[in-house]
Structure 1
Amino acid sequence: MRVEIWSDIACPWCYIGKARFEKGLAGFAHRDDVEVVHRSFELDPGRAKGEVGPVIPMLAKKYGRTIEEARAMEENVASHAHAEGLGYLAEGRDHGNTFDIHRLLHLAKARGRQGELLDLAYRVNFAEERSVFDAAVLAEIAVLAGLDADEVQAVIGDENAYADEVRADEREAAELGANAVPFFVLDRKYGISGGQPSEVFTRALEQAWQEHTPALAVIAGEGDGGDACGPDGCEVPR
């Protein structure tokens, strides 16, 4: 069974939702049979690549709040992150265009290191005082995730590398009706929007699994049933 997760590294609820999903998955009996695939979604696709700035003034401007109100919003989100055991800096973080990060995540997917890079990118963006929007920092964590340094630099330097893959993910999100992230799609049958509690994910996985591998309905014949053999021997015809 496949679970696809549309998310953006700039989204705090994607960071928190990933942790909650993983806890929900850990409580699912068939977790080893679940393939998790991460898809691209940009929260701020129109933002210029070099336009990087502190997150709190950005939030105040975006939502029409004061700086103090924006700071309180971030502190509230931080409390949810900390409840999941995640590091979170309510202040001192940057916000910027995430297209290059998504392109590198597609490279990481092709090399079997997508999960490792995503975890590092989230941690740097939300829990450390480094900026993941700095090309040097981004290249550093990509190598730490297990990618080849020369290949990473080639992708960062070529704006067309994996661009089509990012755009394809975003088009698919729109086709599925996903206009906010995180957005989880279970076996192309169920969609879950937002960083829901872990038990919601466990129940959804169980329901999707039941439909993915439905139990057979046994049709009995007339009389005592057909002759058959089992561990204790075979039926003797009468």
Structure 2
Amino acid sequence: MRVEIWSDIACPWCYIGKARFEKGLAGFAHRDEVEVVHRSFELDPAYPKGDTAQVIDMLAQKYGRTREEAQAMEANVAANAQSEGLGYLTEGRDHGNTFDIHRLLHLAKDRGRQDELLSLAYRANFAEERSVFDGDVLVELAVEAGLDGEEASAVLADPQAYAAEVRADEREASELGANAVPFFVFDRRYGISGGQPAEVFAQALEQAWKDRPLTVIGGDAAACDADGACEVPQNGSGS
């Protein structure tokens, strides 16, 4: 079975959703026969490359909120992350263009280290004071994930390297009707939208194993949409 996950490193619900999916997968009897592939989805592709802004400032401006309201939004997401055992900084994080990160993740996929790099990038972005929008940091993360530093640097230096692969993932997301992330597709038969609880992923794995047709569920779950909006449900559950 293949599970494809469309996500963006800037999406907190993708970070949380990955952890929840992995918990669901851990209890799946056929987990050793599941191939997980991470696909690219940019939440803010028009954001100027090289520019960054503090996340709190970005949220306040984007949603027309005060800084205090933006901080409360982040605190709610942080509570969801912490409930999954994840670190989460509500202050001091950067927001920027994620295209280079996606290109590097495609290199990591070719080298069999994609999940390792994605996990490190999520942790650096959400739990550590390391800006994933800095090329030197990205190379450091690539090396930590087991990639060759010189090869990673060469990919980042060439704007065309893996650009077509990123765009192809994004076209596929559109064709599948994915307008928010995280978006999980099981063997192109069964889909889940949003950062659902681990139990939902466990059920989806069982149903997909039985070869049921593709059905998208959880459309109102916590997710980041194509405009970069990351909604927090009223109950703060992320489901």
Q: What is the TM-score with the length of structure 2 in the denominator?
A: 0.88
Residue of structure 2 in register with 1:86 after alignment:
86
Give the drift of 1:62.
Answer: 1.1
Residue of structure 1 in register with 2:137 after alignment:
137
What is the correspondence of 1:36-185 to structure 2 with a 5 Å cutoff? Answer: 36-185=36-185
Secondary structure class of the residue paired with 1:185: strand
Code of the residue aligned with 1:200 in structure 2: it is V
Residue 17 (1) aligns with residue 21 (2): no
Residue of structure 2 in register with 1:187 after alignment:
187
Secondary structure class of the residue paired with 2:181: coil
Q: Is the 8 A contact 2:106 2:114 kept in 1?
A: yes
Residue of structure 2 in register with 1:234 after alignment:
none
Deviations 1:33-86 (A, max 9, x none): 111000000000000111101001101111121111110000000000000000
CA–CA separation in structure 2 for the residues paired with 1:200 and 1:37? 19
Code of the residue aligned with 1:210 in structure 2: it is K
Residue 198 (1) aligns with residue 192 (2): no
Give the drift of 1:210.
Answer: 1.2
Deviations 1:173-202 (A, max 9, x none): 000000110000011011100000000000
Q: Which moved more, 1:62-71 or 1:104-113?
A: 62-71
Secondary structure class of the residue paired with 2:210: helix
Q: How many residues align?
A: 212
Code of the residue aligned with 1:192 in structure 2: it is I
Q: Is the 8 A contact 2:189 2:211 kept in 1?
A: no
Identity of aligned residues (%): 79
CA–CA separation in structure 2 for the residues paired with 1:87 and 1:203? 27
CA–CA separation in structure 1 for the residues paired with 2:162 and 2:70? 34
Instruction: Could you list the structure 1 runs, at least 4 aligned residues long, displaced by more than 6 angstroms after superposition.
Output: none
Secondary structure class of the residue paired with 1:184: strand
Q: Is the 8 A contact 2:60 2:67 kept in 1?
A: yes
Q: What is the TM-score with the length of structure 1 in the denominator?
A: 0.88
- The runs of 5 or more residues in structure 2 that have no matched partner are 213-239
Give RMSD over aligned pairs: 0.7
Secondary structure class of the residue paired with 1:117: helix
Code of the residue aligned with 1:143 in structure 2: it is V
Give the drift of 1:114.
Answer: 0.3
Code of the residue aligned with 1:4 in structure 2: it is E
- The runs of 5 or more residues in structure 1 that have no matched partner are 213-238
CA–CA separation in structure 1 for the residues paired with 2:35 and 2:134? 31
